Structure 1
Amino acid sequence: MQDFLQLSKAEAGQGVTEAAGAGYAVVSSHPLATSQAQRVLQAGGNAFDAAVAGAAMLCVALPHACGLGGDCFAMVHDSSKNEVWSLNGSGASPQALPPDLSSSQLGLGPLSCGVPGMVGGWHAIHQRFGHSTWASLIEPAARLAAEGIEVCDDLAQAFRLFDARVRRDTGLGKLFLVDEQLPVVGERLLQSPLSRSLQAIADNGPQALYQGTIGQSICQVLQAQGGSMSLDDLSTYEPIWSHPLRSKYRGLTVNVAPPNSFGLFMLLQLLALEDTDVQEQGLLSSGRLALLMRAARTSFAHGLSYVGDPSHVVSPQEALSPVAAQALREGMRSISPARSVSKSQGTATISVVDKAGHAITLIQSIFKPFGAMVADAATGVILNNRLAGFHPQSGHPNSAGPGKRPAHTLNPVMVTNGGRLKYLLGTPGGSGQTITLTHVLSALVDLKLSLRDSIAAPRWSMDLAGGLLIEPGLAEGVAAGVPAQLREQGLDVQVAVGERFFFGSAECIELADDGRRIAVADDRRDASCAAGN
């Protein structure tokens, strides 16, 4: 790949951090989570224990991105049976959700909150696969919340961008304002209410949230502001275990979470690309980028009616049929229209593989930064705004309704080769998750790049209106002519400066043929990785 090797680090995209070991590997969205997962593994816990402990730590380190008021999805590999499972830890809308809500009401505020499924998802993983005690996995996060964390760049930037909105909500203000100021990078943030809630969950299990005082307090705060969530909605919550949604790409099996996850959109992109000459295109060529862009646009258009509450949409296998594949390929030959997408800084991931080969990719979120912009100061819980994922058109399979799970951007991915686990892939980035991971997997498989180089390479994404964005590395050096070449093909791209959050932060693990576990953390955000023997 000469066009890649000639690039300087600045031109190539972003830096990455890599760790490799013969025993285990961890990669996550924050060093505190990576370190805690590593400690659990070194103390004898398995990959599932480590992921739950790291996920709890992410809630303390990145409260704008994920927390007890959010959701999760996971892909799980049980090496003892060589099986891959999908966990849907997303929540449904309240049963008393009013009809005919506007997009703005569903998008932000007390009526935008779905039942928080993350804690239930953690517990389901632990009950089925964990070895360590539940309390031992949650208590370290509770202690750290009380002791305080050093504010990282991602959290500080969220405070800067959403200063006015954070101040507007009484609960958020009580949680984060100190002497009328929001914390900046390096300052210490104490989260005593969150610490108490985490300790209650450590002591009493998920029922502390779903049936106890935490849930009661959350519902009171929402209802006081006009929300409709009740303790009955919380107490009846159950996560969903299922087989993954699968498709082949160049002989590999790509496993994603079924709807309501956006995972289908990644499979559709790969299906559209398989009949192209993307393998013959250079990494930074306009030809390759054009194929990736067309594949994404036509896949979002084609798959939209299949992604929603599992009980309200047609089987996603229909979208992957030979007839559908032909429609995708025809769409690739035209310029698909732009569609609005969701930008999100409110997501964090953790992936772990252990000595026994057990593995998990877990992704969790409150969706937009600070979720619904509604927090319960007594419990430290920031509520999600996941009902923004409903389609605005009445009668659409993904339209809003009581007790429905909305379409969900979270997209954990596992790739197997001949039945053997090969890659764990995850990234934050809203709708751009499937775009980022398709870019990474194509570079790995089509161009035979290393995991490190596939993640570091500059990439493309979409803005909120569906407009096409490219990183500066795709408009500089040997790639300087790329923007003009794409525009000549009818793809009106813009160079994104200072918009790193559109491009995610790929956090991935490779199980190499020589037995090593290779973890790579993308420096586009505060990700980190670790590995050992």
Structure 2
Amino acid sequence: MKTRCGSHRNASWGLALLLLAFAPGLAAQRQHAAPATHPPGAAIASGHALATDAGLATLRAGGNAFDAAVTVSAVLSVVEPISSGLGGGGFFLLHDAQSGKDVFLDARETAPEAATPAAYLDRDGDLDPDRAQNGPWSAGIPGLPAALVELAGHYGRLPLRRTLAPAIRIAREGFPVYARLEKGYAARRTVMERYPGTRAVFLADGDPPQVGETLRQPDLARTLELLAERGFDGFYRGDVADRLVAAVNAEGGRWTAAELAAYRVRTREPLRFRYRDWDITTAPPPSSGGVALAQILQIAAGWDLAQLDPAHRVHILVEAMRRAYRDRTIYLGDPDFVTMPLARLTSADYAAGLRATIHPDKATPSALLPGQPAPLEDEETTHFSIIDAEGNIVSATQTVNLLYGSGLVAPGTGVLLNDEMDDFALKPGTPNAFGVMGFAANAPAPGKRMLSSMTPTIMASPDKIAALGAPGGSRIITEVLLGILGYDAGLGAQQVAALPRIHHQWWPDVISAEAGALDAATVQALQAMGHTVNAAEGPWGNLQTVAWDRSDNTLSGGSDPRNPVGSARVQPQAPAR
């Protein structure tokens, strides 16, 4: 059974709550008593109760938030194969309470040498979606196992054999299949059953996973044991590496042992900016999320949103989204390979210039925004958030990209490989599976990391600190955006996780909204401004957040009610020492 802190909410709150998040002036005045210096315990929010509970157990065993992150990440890799796993990658935003430093660990997958743009085109020169999204050619070199080793070795206190033990046990003994796993498998069954290693895991009892059945993954348990025993070499060299290479090559792909052994986590400087009285620390490239957040919020800061009617509040945010996603498409990529005008893109002056192009009463057709770069000047995915009793914070997002990644499990490893190659601009100007286009900055090259929308974020005001993030492909950024606006409006963690959602990504030129997020009058007013509105989409996303209110020294957590197996829990007592 899932456990959440805070009152239960769901997307049926609809328009009223959405508008509250867009109207910071409606929030109650914050208290400014002397803030607490240490949290009264710990809080974890993740996409599955087994991961949340395992992370809290790691804290009770004397670990810190970084040890707990290893545990939560590994358990999610076992119980959420639809979303993430050892065959994928992720971003880990860390705050070290003792030093006050923030660190961004980039464990994004990398392109193998054979993955040239030409390898993904059909005979007519068009993008081959099957090769880009399914099977061996869709998979990048995994980064998540290296991130777990990095977290344990440089930030945690406990050995991997302790922090990985829950994931090993759950992989071996199994866990109950839930509805999203069953539904996702049905959607991807044709692809997954191409591969013998995948069939051995998901058809072990003769039929596809069904709700209530126990899914056991003994090969994955052994892979996790090797990672615990040998660290980096347990995955990237030796038996597991040999099996991964053999599996990819047997299915027609081209990996080498040298490429696996050469993988490294990159430590990067987080992106920082200011919004109202919040200091926002978030993901830098190869994530596009932080840059887009900085642009959208700084553009929107030019208006008193609380004084606008509902339609105009949405209009302003959508126009800011439109411009940010346009810049994402044109400029952003792997910082180890491309030069990006980040100082310009994230500056208040640049935001003011973009703001000046927004008509207060009319939509800007996306086709009128230039689609070529200017000269340079200088669901599928999961998230968890952790605060420990020392004030250490982890905001982490990890993924295998689409549902069940590539669909290819390497025989004898239990490792389901990602299909992140689709996140490259494999053919410039051609949308990927999320409808997002890209150009030269995000073209594949050997060892290059594909652009991502994953946006793990930490936000701090004089009296509150919160960590948040979400899955959702290109919609991750706007999920986190609405979460930031929700906290700024004075909402609690569970309220933030449940907020109704809207989204615009430059192309296609349409406002997406969950059913009930916008009322009929608001939709009609937006249409009169020239917007195309899809106001009846199904729910999306799975936001996970924790918050520490330093004014009264309380912790809270929010787990998205769209995900019935998610869990946010507060552990009031300080971890045992």
Q: Structure 1-normalised TM-score?
A: 0.90
1:358 is matched with which residue? 392
Q: Please give the alpha-carbon distance, in whole angstroms, between the structure 2 residues aligned to 1:240 and 1:9.
A: 37
* Correspondence for 1:96 among 102, 106, 114: 114
1:289 aligns with 2:314: yes
1:398 is matched with which residue? 442
Q: Please give the alpha-carbon distance, in whole angstroms, between the structure 1 residues aligned to 2:504 and 2:243.
A: 38
1:377 aligns with 2:378: no
- Are 2:43 and 2:557, in contact at CA under 8 Å, matched by a contact in 1? yes
Distance 1:437 1:331, change over 3 A: farther
Q: Please give the alpha-carbon distance, in whole angstroms, between the structure 1 residues aligned to 2:343 and 2:393.
A: 26
1:28 aligns with 2:46: yes
**What is the number of equivalent residue pairs in this alignment?**
506
Distance 1:421 1:214, change over 3 A: farther
Deviations 1:180-213 (A, max 9, x none): 4211222111111111111111111121111121
- Are 1:272 and 1:332, in contact at CA under 8 Å, matched by a contact in 2? no
- Are 1:297 and 1:336, in contact at CA under 8 Å, matched by a contact in 2? no
Distance 1:199 1:331, change over 3 A: farther
Deviations 1:461-497 (A, max 9, x none): 359946322122224xxx3422222212222111335
Cα distance, 1:107 vs structure 2: 3.4
Q: Secondary structure at the match of 2:366?
A: coil
* Correspondence for 2:472 among 426, 429, 447: 429
AA aligned opposite 1:506: L
Q: Secondary structure at the match of 1:367?
A: coil
Paired residues for 1:299-338 under 5 Å: 299-311=324-336, 312-333=338-359, 334-337=363-366
Q: Secondary structure at the match of 1:332?
A: coil
1:273 is matched with which residue? 300
Cα distance, 1:531 vs structure 2: 0.6
Q: Please give the alpha-carbon distance, in whole angstroms, between the structure 2 residues aligned to 1:428 and 1:99.
A: 27
Cα distance, 1:10 vs structure 2: 6.2
* Correspondence for 1:162 among 174, 188, 193: 188
Deviations 1:157-179 (A, max 9, x none): 21122222222333322210145
Q: Please give the alpha-carbon distance, in whole angstroms, between the structure 1 residues aligned to 2:218 and 2:536.
A: 38
Distance 1:204 1:153, change over 3 A: same
Distance 1:421 1:108, change over 3 A: farther
Deviations 1:7-54 (A, max 9, x none): x96631599xxxxx8211000010010000011111211111111101
Deviations 1:45-89 (A, max 9, x none): 111111110110001111121111100101101000111111101
* Correspondence for 2:556 among 486, 494, 518: 518
Q: Please give the alpha-carbon distance, in whole angstroms, between the structure 1 residues aligned to 2:134 and 2:357.
A: 34
Deviations 1:319-354 (A, max 9, x none): 123452134213433524289xxxxx2211221111
Q: Please give the alpha-carbon distance, in whole angstroms, between the structure 1 residues aligned to 2:334 and 2:90.
A: 15
2:61 is matched with which residue? 43
- Are 1:309 and 1:398, in contact at CA under 8 Å, matched by a contact in 2? yes
- Are 2:272 and 2:279, in contact at CA under 8 Å, matched by a contact in 1? yes
Q: Which deviates more from structure 2 when the two are superposed, residues 227-236 or residues 305-314?
A: 305-314
Aligned-residue CA RMSD (Å): 2.3
Q: Please give the alpha-carbon distance, in whole angstroms, between the structure 2 residues aligned to 1:51 and 1:43.
A: 14
AA aligned opposite 1:158: G
Cα distance, 1:452 vs structure 2: 2.9
Distance 1:31 1:13, change over 3 A: farther
Q: Secondary structure at the match of 1:474?
A: coil
Q: Please give the alpha-carbon distance, in whole angstroms, between the structure 2 residues aligned to 1:452 and 1:370.
A: 28
- Are 1:256 and 1:413, in contact at CA under 8 Å, matched by a contact in 2? yes
Q: Please give the alpha-carbon distance, in whole angstroms, between the structure 2 residues aligned to 1:326 and 1:44.
A: 48
- Are 1:361 and 1:425, in contact at CA under 8 Å, matched by a contact in 2? yes
2:149 is matched with which residue? 123
Paired residues for 1:372-521 under 5 Å: 372-391=406-425, 392-393=427-428, 396-417=440-461, 422-445=465-488, 447-461=489-503, 465=508, 467-475=510-518, 479-497=519-537, 499-500=538-539, 503-513=540-550, 514-521=552-559
2:97 is matched with which residue? 79
Distance 1:251 1:403, change over 3 A: same
* Correspondence for 2:160 among 128, 134, 139: 134
Q: Secondary structure at the match of 1:86?
A: strand
1:176 is matched with which residue? 202
Deviations 1:337-389 (A, max 9, x none): 289xxxxx221122111111111111111011111222213101111111111
Structure 1 runs, 4 residues or longer, greater than 6 Å off: none
- Are 1:175 and 1:377, in contact at CA under 8 Å, matched by a contact in 2? no
Q: Please give the alpha-carbon distance, in whole angstroms, between the structure 1 residues aligned to 2:213 and 2:318.
A: 40
Q: Please give the alpha-carbon distance, in whole angstroms, between the structure 2 residues aligned to 1:494 and 1:179.
A: 42
1:210 aligns with 2:245: no
1:65 is matched with which residue? 83
Q: Secondary structure at the match of 1:201?
A: helix
AA aligned opposite 1:356: E
Distance 1:265 1:146, change over 3 A: same
Cα distance, 1:261 vs structure 2: 0.7
Cα distance, 1:306 vs structure 2: 3.1
- Are 2:188 and 2:407, in contact at CA under 8 Å, matched by a contact in 1? no
Distance 1:68 1:60, change over 3 A: same
Cα distance, 1:268 vs structure 2: 1.6
Distance 1:70 1:320, change over 3 A: same
Cα distance, 1:287 vs structure 2: 2.3
Q: Please give the alpha-carbon distance, in whole angstroms, between the structure 1 residues aligned to 2:103 and 2:159.
A: 22
1:528 aligns with 2:567: yes
Q: Secondary structure at the match of 2:302?
A: coil
Question: Unmatched 5+ residue regions in structure 1?
Answer: 1-7, 16-20, 340-344
Q: Secondary structure at the match of 1:431?
A: helix
Cα distance, 1:404 vs structure 2: 1.0
Q: Please give the alpha-carbon distance, in whole angstroms, between the structure 2 residues aligned to 1:488 and 1:81.
A: 53
Q: Please give the alpha-carbon distance, in whole angstroms, between the structure 1 residues aligned to 2:442 and 2:147.
A: 22
1:258 is matched with which residue? 284
Q: Secondary structure at the match of 2:381?
A: strand
Paired residues for 1:332-351 under 5 Å: 332-333=358-359, 334-337=363-366, 345-351=379-385
Q: Please give the alpha-carbon distance, in whole angstroms, between the structure 2 residues aligned to 1:132 and 1:278.
A: 47
- Are 2:381 and 2:472, in contact at CA under 8 Å, matched by a contact in 1? yes
Cα distance, 1:134 vs structure 2: 1.2
AA aligned opposite 1:335: T
2:23 is matched with which residue? none
Q: Please give the alpha-carbon distance, in whole angstroms, between the structure 2 residues aligned to 1:332 and 1:224.
A: 53
Q: Secondary structure at the match of 1:381?
A: coil
- Are 1:292 and 1:439, in contact at CA under 8 Å, matched by a contact in 2? no
Q: Which deviates more from structure 2 when the two are superposed, residues 60-69 or residues 157-166?
A: 157-166
